[in-house]
Amino acid sequence: MASKARVEHLPDGMIRVVIPGMRIVSESNVREHWSKSHKRHSNQRWITAQIVRGVGRLPPVRVVLVYHSSRKMDQGNIAIAFKHVQDGIADALGVDDGDDDYYQWVYQQQVGTPLGKSFVEILFVPTKQGK
C-alpha cells in the first residue's frame, strides 16, 4: 500500500497525496474484535504519517480527505472513518489536528471505484487565513 503511494505538487500550490489500497470503514457500524480494529487504526495512522512526512511543514491549509470506493457512507460516518488518517497527517506535520485556525478538515467521498480498488486521496489546499 505505502510503496505505491504518490505525492504530487500541483501548479496551483496544492499538494495531492494518493494512498492506493487504503480502506476506511464506518467505525460506528463495524462489529469486530478490538484487536482487529486496533491493528487497522494503527496501520492507517502509521502509513499516512510515513507518506505525508515528506510534505514538510505547511502554511495554513484546507486538508481535503477523499475516500474513493464502491459504496457510499453517510456524512457522519465518513468523518469518523477518517479519524486515524487525520491523526497520521497531524503526526507527520507536527501539528494539533484540533487547531481550526490553521488547518481545516474536509471529508468527501467519490463512489464508483471498482470493488477492491478503494483508495484515499489527500489534498492540501493553501488558504490565506486557514479557512
Please state at what angle helix 83-93 crosses helix 34-52, rounded to 10 degrees. Answer: 40
pLDDT band at 113 (very low <50, low <70, confident <90, very high): confident
Model confidence over 27-71: pLDDT tens digits?
666 666 778 777 877 898 999 999 998 887 788 899 999 999 988
Mean pLDDT over each residue of the chain, to the nearest integer: 85
Domain extent listing, the chain: 2-126
Fold classification of 2-126 (topology level): 60s Ribosomal Protein L30; Chain: A; (3.30.1330)
Tell me the pTM: 0.87
Q: Kindly state the average pLDDT of the residues 67-84.
A: 90
Give first-to-last CA distance, the chain, whole Å: 31
Question: What is the C-alpha separation between 63 and 20, in angstroms, rounded?
Answer: 18
Lowest mean pLDDT among 49-53, 75-79, 108-112: 75-79
Model confidence over 3-35: pLDDT tens digits?
688 899 998 889 999 999 898 877 666 666 778
Please say if the pLDDT value at position 87 is more than 90: yes
